[in-house]
Structure 1
């Protein structure tokens, strides 16, 4: 949390007025007109090129704004025609930068803070000095760009299983404070999608759950948490990405909900976010025929973004596209047209186009041809600048190593993450009271299972992390990773290793009807050794598994969630999580095996 002294409040008297622009629409507050006039005068001094640039939020490679590694310089030259982040700002006047792990932006907290400061210095060196809005996707759980030693917290569906608004708010406040200390002031979270489709390939555990009202409550709690820490929260993906079977990164999903279904299922979390003054909302690259029969993706749909989001829902904050390099928005129109159509639809920020020169010149050309007016650009720039001023970036865009030391990954934050995670692990099955395991006999455990690519915040494969956590709790645990698609030889090895063990714990990952993980579980169950299944991503795995004596859902395989699961298995804490989504039968998906709210305890 940021301390706000009387002196700082006096210096920044426009904060209340800014909230009118970036939150839900309402009558102007006292002082709002003068505040807007000051920003409009600033906008009037900007060149057309600067105005176009202010609309873009772009990736850039490298750990430094001025001296990245040669490999990153080569990538920047290849993709953007610049060598460094500083050159990107100078050439295109971009209004924001997005950080990615794969772009080598997030090595460690001090490096991130230095990169942020370098980018802000480049922004203030422009002909019209302007701070940048630096953003990232730090949802936690399976999507996190900043890793250890920053605090990694349970993801959305885990928080949904916990069901605590105060925990959701606390998690966002911790995450927001740490991001702000590193100079990242816009977070593309929380996810407001209601995951009603178990086959959803892109949302899943990134959602708080399947109940619209429960999701809405947790979204609102996280909005308050992030924004109380000085971070612009971003609810996504409007108008709702929770019922898809296509990943919009690779194709164009079609939502078949009626308008009434949208009102009942998809809209409540976004309404809640707007009511709580959400600073920004991200669009979805989805077709939603009931909302716009043209079949334009929502990102390019004026009926959806202006007609529904702005006019019906009364939202007048910043609207940011999902990444414009995703296939879902590129299938119908060329890359030079997409940003123009997005602006015409009602978007303010254009996120990460595949080719910045093509996108930037597309917008510039549309203004010069009269397709877009300068007034339309000014409308979006005003929203963006109001948000930057609300966040204090005009006053002081820089961060300090001292702030990093006192904020990021502190003992208090790490302890809070562990405490929150303890309330999320869900016990689905416990035949014969197998769990908690008896530590008094120091049982010998075998931990086998999936080893998916490690998300940010893990110290190793899930089997190794879980085995260590159980060993630290007094067990003798051996790890044997068998993978997401174990071979016959690997399964044989696991079965042989199970001999003489007191229990086997198998970590499962999105098990399907044809997954070799099913064979692994069946073979292990046939040994007669008590078998505990722990789903480490989607909680639907139990419907595909036979012969397990106990089953739990952890919702992710980051260290914090695996440690919490280990404490539940060991009986150090009671399982308190409850399913935030229903689990259907594998042989009859119309029948519910475990309903929303299911969860066993040790009492």
Structure 2
């Protein structure tokens, strides 16, 4: 569609409500634009729209949806929209069918080549832009040093600050070269928390020196790499903020640290203001005003229309009452408009929609996926698998955080192994229900020579641990594959054969199957430490 031209004098022609509207990104329900989102665009000059799985049916529908949203802005004489998404790859992705879904960040890091982060981001970015999406809330620059982190885990490039920085900088360049705005997150770092900020308010209590060395290093280098937007986290950091304010609401963090000390001149986007870390402790609407006062440029409210309207009205009222100066609003809007002028200037997508999810693109994703397979141990030489009747027990992917949304998986590990030539019988079990199946599965295991178990965040589900230990007692050839966080082995350290795959998307399952039968080597290396024996960098074993 034709794009409206954003002039360098656009700000001067805008009234207060138009400016405030530009500072809001909103979500909505449905596969078609809702009347509420259209009203926000036409009457309230909305700056952007965020898409979730609830808005996605297939690639053609997404392309039509984004065009209708932009058309609503154009027909109203308004500035084109940001249309954003969380398409991190791997286990966190909103569009999973019809695209070349890239492996997640920890899988990419396990492959050892930062260039793969560029390739994955660049190709993902090209496909997103073809579908009308111009902003991606990725890469995740959190340094995952806490095995008990319930929300980051495999979304991180790993536990090494320098590695996260190197891979993250390449991903940022990849998105930028595709014409999509990369939004590095979650500043100043969500990797060392054991609380999900979707559910409550986490605190990182480390001293400033440690935070400089770990959490902030990737953001320093992202700024040096030219990152255009950074997302704030809803995390309390006493090293920077004496009050119990999360980063999103802290002037000391957003303005003092990010703007003034780190020298970031781009757009600051908040994480969703409906997350319970904000809504339960401060209230979404009032927190929107607090975030603007603290230095945020773009306020993300992903779900409820009344909160989206409420935030706009509250920010306008705060300016009119003198709580926030209009000059402060102008600085944010100028940053937003400058980035829109830069990134939304081209009307043409980089490829035809028929190329989205093409064989060539999927082949690139396959190469990255296969490079990630990490053989942690095979003490008894159970790999490659024998061509014998094999029991495959797979824990179904479970929504471990709101960020996962839904995790429908059209392929199973058993079917992937069958396609690779192994005779299998499969049992799929909900991740939280494994403990209820112990007796049945123990009896079933007696009929098989070898057993493959795919665990899924076993650290958070004691029943999975019980199941693996029960199967160990059968004395059968037991192979465990971690289908999300590689830390599962900490719960059964004496398992003889253990492979880390980092995700259970169909592409990963195919790579696992090929690795287990010896068709490809296990070249990946651990991005995180599992134990003193299996530290970050361990791996590279060949089957």
Q: Same fold (TM over 0.5)?
A: yes
Aligned to 1:318: 267
**Alignment deviations for residues 257-303 of structure 1 (CA, whole Å, 9 cap, x no partner):** 11000110011111111111111100000100001112211001111
136, 140, 144: which one aligns with 1:187: 136
Q: Distance in 2 between matches of 1:299 and 1:597?
A: 34
Segments of structure 2 that go 5 or more residues without pairing to the other structure are: none
**Alignment deviations for residues 112-159 of structure 1 (CA, whole Å, 9 cap, x no partner):** 111111111111122x43100100100111110111111111101111
**What does 1:186-335 align with in structure 2 at a 5 Å threshold?**
186-335=135-284
Give the superposition deviation at 1:495. 2.0
| Aligned partner of residue 318 in structure 2, secondary structure | helix
Aligned to 1:106: 56
Structure 1 residue 62 and structure 2 residue 7: aligned?
A: no
Aligned to 1:483: 430
| Aligned partner of residue 230 in structure 2, secondary structure | strand
After TM superposition, the score normalised by the length of structure 1 is: 0.85
89, 107, 113: which one aligns with 1:164: 113
Q: Distance in 1 between matches of 2:127 and 2:37?
A: 22
Q: RMSD over aligned Cα, in angstroms?
A: 2.2
Aligned to 2:361: 413
Q: Distance in 2 between matches of 1:403 and 1:371?
A: 48
TM-aligned CA distance change 1:47 to 1:330, over 3 Å: same
Aligned to 1:8: none
Contact 2:459 2:487 in 1 (8 A): no
Q: Distance in 2 between matches of 1:198 and 1:513?
A: 11
Q: Distance in 1 between matches of 2:181 and 2:332?
A: 16
Q: Distance in 2 between matches of 1:488 and 1:220?
A: 42
| Aligned partner of residue 173 in structure 1, secondary structure | helix
Contact 1:146 1:456 in 2 (8 A): no
Aligned to 2:374: 426
Give the superposition deviation at 1:332. 3.9
Contact 1:482 1:491 in 2 (8 A): no
Segments of structure 1 that go 5 or more residues without pairing to the other structure are: 1-10, 15-34, 66-72, 74-82, 585-591
Structure 1 residue 404 and structure 2 residue 344: aligned?
A: no
**Alignment deviations for residues 436-492 of structure 1 (CA, whole Å, 9 cap, x no partner):** 124xxx32111103112486897737xx62111111111112211133234566222
Q: Distance in 1 between matches of 2:36 and 2:312?
A: 18
Aligned to 2:17: 49
TM-aligned CA distance change 1:256 to 1:399, over 3 Å: same
Contact 1:522 1:547 in 2 (8 A): no
Aligned to 2:72: 122
- Which one has a bigger Cα radius of gyration? 1
Q: Distance in 2 between matches of 1:543 and 1:517?
A: 12
Q: Distance in 2 between matches of 1:365 and 1:136?
A: 29
| Aligned partner of residue 427 in structure 2, secondary structure | strand
Give the superposition deviation at 1:251. 0.7
After TM superposition, the score normalised by the length of structure 2 is: 0.94
**Alignment deviations for residues 208-230 of structure 1 (CA, whole Å, 9 cap, x no partner):** 10000011000001001111111
TM-aligned CA distance change 1:413 to 1:459, over 3 Å: farther
Q: Distance in 1 between matches of 2:380 and 2:199?
A: 45
Q: Distance in 1 between matches of 2:18 and 2:440?
A: 62
Aligned to 1:444: 389
TM-aligned CA distance change 1:513 to 1:363, over 3 Å: closer
Q: Distance in 1 between matches of 2:425 and 2:407?
A: 18
Q: Distance in 2 between matches of 1:181 and 1:335?
A: 33
Structure 1 residue 496 and structure 2 residue 448: aligned?
A: no
Give the superposition deviation at 1:389. 1.5
Q: Distance in 1 between matches of 2:372 and 2:19?
A: 46
Give the superposition deviation at 1:525. 1.6
Contact 2:434 2:464 in 1 (8 A): no
Aligned to 2:41: 89
| Aligned partner of residue 385 in structure 2, secondary structure | coil
**What does 1:492-571 align with in structure 2 at a 5 Å threshold?**
492-512=439-459, 515-545=462-492, 548-571=495-518
Q: Distance in 1 between matches of 2:241 and 2:209?
A: 14
Give the superposition deviation at 1:422. 0.6
Structure 1 residue 345 and structure 2 residue 294: aligned?
A: yes
Q: Distance in 2 between matches of 1:275 and 1:172?
A: 18
Q: Distance in 2 between matches of 1:124 and 1:575?
A: 51
Contact 1:215 1:269 in 2 (8 A): yes
| Aligned partner of residue 594 in structure 1, secondary structure | coil
Contact 1:535 1:552 in 2 (8 A): yes
Q: Distance in 2 between matches of 1:384 and 1:395?
A: 17
Aligned to 1:132: 81
Give the superposition deviation at 1:546. 5.5
Contact 1:246 1:253 in 2 (8 A): yes
Give the superposition deviation at 1:341. 1.5
TM-aligned CA distance change 1:447 to 1:233, over 3 Å: same
**Alignment deviations for residues 311-332 of structure 1 (CA, whole Å, 9 cap, x no partner):** 1111100110000001112344
**Alignment deviations for residues 512-559 of structure 1 (CA, whole Å, 9 cap, x no partner):** 387111221122122221000011111111121155331011111111
Q: Distance in 1 between matches of 2:62 and 2:485?
A: 31
